[in-house]
Structure 1
Amino acid sequence: MFTSTTDNYLLTFTHSLLCEKNQPLAQVSCQTGYSQKHFIQLYKKIAGISPKKHQRLHRVNRAIELLQRKAQFSYTDIAHLCHFYDQAHFINEFRYFTGLSPSQYLSLPLSYPHVITYSA
């Protein structure tokens, strides 16, 4: 829930830096002009989750989009494209948010395959 235009701008700006440009949290908080601790508290208050969890969710959602193109990308490709450290990191994060491995997720008959069905 956005409480003001300023809140909306902060979320849009930080989403761009954290998720699209994959900048570290310390660098993003510095660019906002807040200390890292204050930035995290403010972000949680506005968005309801931490900026790091937002970044992690964005990576997994992006991975799900790429998984839908089954033949086009290997797990290593997806890990690289979605800014995971490696394939194991990708699979562990995917399992954390969905409760399934990428292979298990793809084998399910999902009505809405782009939606994470389980959250931790």
Structure 2
Amino acid sequence: KPAEWVDEVLAEDIKWRDLTQQKDKLRRDVNALQKDVIAPKKKAKEPCDEEVAQMKDMQKKIKEIEKLLPEIAATRDNLLNKIGNIVDPEVPISQDEEEDNLVVALYPMPPEAEEEGRDNPLL
């Protein structure tokens, strides 16, 4: 079952990434249309109803995608939370942490701080 969960998470993530890319591309297209086509036509007082309608259609698609993105992200994250971390094979499996604890490395304790060291704000 966990292998299926990974496949589901990957599928949802791919959906989310594809929709995010579509949204970003539509935004770039809207900005380019506004800047390169509509603004110069308005400045020259030429009709640009067709371009404005095209821009509004793109903005509508962006809003539809923005409604879907949180749902897909929530589904992906919920599935992701079902999957545990990969544990090192050397980690002992036990119900008692104290009894089967394995010390892998010891690090020296830091030196004791001087009572009135350089950190003292009164100096």
TM-score normalised per structure 1:
0.28
Structure having greater relative contact order (Cα 8 Å, sep ≥ 6):
2
Larger Rg: 2
